[in-house]
Structure 1
Amino acid sequence: MDAPDSIITAVERHPKTASRYLIFIDGQYVLTVHEDVLIKHRLLKGERAEPDKLRLVLEDEEQQRAWSDALKQVGRRPRSEKEIRQYLKRKQYLPPLIDRIVLRLKEQNFLNDADFAAQWTEQRIYSQKKGRRLIKQELQLKGVALATIQQTLNQVPVDEEQRLAFELAVKKWKLTSGGALDKKRKTAAFLIRRGYSAQIVSNAVRKAAETFREEADASDESDMWDWPEA
């Protein structure tokens, strides 16, 4: 004689999370599911709970959790595709599921490396006053394609980057001790570390020296600086 089918004997709302439900089968708690999974699989009191059905429920519940985890990440700040993939991998989701989540994020425009690169660049350029060389390195580490990075950086006006580098040069110059030659070297090294190109560094340092001309003697003022690309 075949064993009787298991039956869902109770469905209770989660006490702390309104969108989740506790499922009881044959009087015993078995699992917690999101309301979307509950509705999709008709997990109602009195319904049969066949093993194949429960397997599909568990698969959909894992996908729902992965989707929820991914949404929380992109909701906190823009993310690159590589960042999301690494995060979901750390959460121990399997590659096929990660692929599905990433595709869904792209389809719903939650994940777009071109938009991510543009926002990242704007924040680094204007808020942190970093040069495009350093920004390029950061975006490469984030997994953004080189062509996308170059296209994004090409949108940054060179004169704007030069203006921001000069502002930094003036601040650094004021805080640097020593003569004009020391100030030039230390200011240039500082700007190079910030990721500015050799040409922009040279122009910014020269302009800063001219601004504080009274601190520089004639020999320092005539000194030409050719800073190699780092």
Structure 2
Amino acid sequence: MTSFPRLSTSESEPGDDPNGDNPNRDDPNREEQAHAYCLRLLTVRARTRAELAGKLTQRGYAEAVAQRVLDRLAKVGLVDDEDFAEQWVRSRHLYAGKGKRALAAELRRKGVDNEVITSSLADIDAGAERDRAEQLVRDRLRREKLDDEPGSDLKLKRRLAGMLARRGYSQSMALDVVTVELAGERERRRV
């Protein structure tokens, strides 16, 4: 096993303590660097407070510096988890076709509080969720070749229900939507 020499006290940075915390990291320059870094991140896309805190931690900023920077950004409205969650839900439901369960999981991974998640998902009622699932299945069915072979419907139903399940729709809704839409597509193609 290779051992590396320990730094002598004369080689360490001024202000370093044995735990590796450097009080000099709490200087105003460091805070401005953290603020500029957060602004660069926010120009790419909106982010949650937890995401920004994680990025600052990865960069080695002290927790006190990160909290001050995030409070400053929140004060001017650049970091707002409620607004982020509402926009995320609206966008991901509309464009990616995500169901409530998938949206809640995504927001949890981004560090959004459960209360905020619940309030942002309140806009999606069961009818809107079902409508979106029906649209997803209809769009997919239009590209499918429907065989008259025995068992082909079962395979197709499994694939379509799996697609909906991966997007966060409940199994019972997925199976019901797939069955109804498949029957409708077969009828449409007969005419």
TM-score, reference length from structure 1: 0.64
Distance 1:170 1:154 in 2: 25
CA RMSD of aligned residues (A): 2.2
Which residue in 2 is equivalent to 1:140?
108
User: Which amino acid is 2:87 matched to?
Assistant: Q
* Match 2:81 to one of 113, 133, 150: 113
Alpha-carbon distance in structure 2 between the residues aligned to 1:98 and 1:129:
35
Is residue 102 of structure 1 aligned with residue 87 of structure 2?
no
1:170 corresponds to which residue? 138
Shift of 1:213: 3.4
1:209 aligns to 2:182 (yes or no): yes
Q: Using the alignment, how far apart are the partners of 1:214 and 1:183 within structure 2?
A: 16
Which residue of 1 is the match for residue 52 of structure 2? 84
- 1:113-171, CA deviations, whole angstroms, 9 ceiling, x for partnerless residues? 11111111111101111111111111101111111111111111332221221111123
Secondary structure of the residue aligned to 1:212 is helix
CA deviations on 1:42-70 (whole Å, 9 max, x unpaired) are xxxxxxxxxxxxxx9x9222111111111
CA contact (8 A) 1:121 1:135 kept: yes
Q: Deviations over 1:88-107 (max 9, x none)?
A: 11221111100111111111
- 1:192 aligned onto 2:165: yes
Give the corresponding residue for 2:41.
73
Q: Distance in 2 between matches of 1:78 and 1:197?
A: 29
Return the alpha-carbon distance in structure 1 between the equivalents of residues 85 and 172 of structure 2: 24
Give the corresponding residue for 2:153: 180
User: 1:124 touches 1:135 (CA, 8 Å); kept in 2?
Assistant: yes
Between Structure 1 and Structure 2, the one with more strand by share is: 1
Larger CA Rg, structure 1 vs 2: 1
Q: Secondary structure at the match of 2:38?
A: helix
The answer to whether residue 95 in structure 2 is matched with residue 127 in structure 1 is yes
Offset at residue 199 of structure 1 (A): 4.1
Identify the residue that residue 42 of structure 1 maps to in structure 2.
none
Distance in 2 separating the partners of 1:185 and 1:140:
28
Mapped contact 1:187–1:205 kept (Cα < 8 A): yes
Q: CA deviation at 1:197?
A: 2.1
Distance 2:130 2:51 in 1: 31
Q: As a proportion of its length, which structure holds more helix?
A: 2
- The question of whether the paired residues in 1 share the 8 Å contact of 2:161 and 2:171 is answered with no
Could you tell me how far 1:183 is from its partner in structure 2? 1.7
Identity %: 27
Q: How many residues align?
A: 160
User: Greater relative contact order (Cα 8 A, min sep 6): structure 1 or 2?
Assistant: 2
Q: Give the 3-state SS of the residue equivalent to 1:92 in structure 2.
A: coil
Preserved CA contact (<8 Å) 1:176 1:186: no
Question: Which stretches in structure 1 are left out of the alignment for 5+ residues?
Answer: 1-55, 216-230
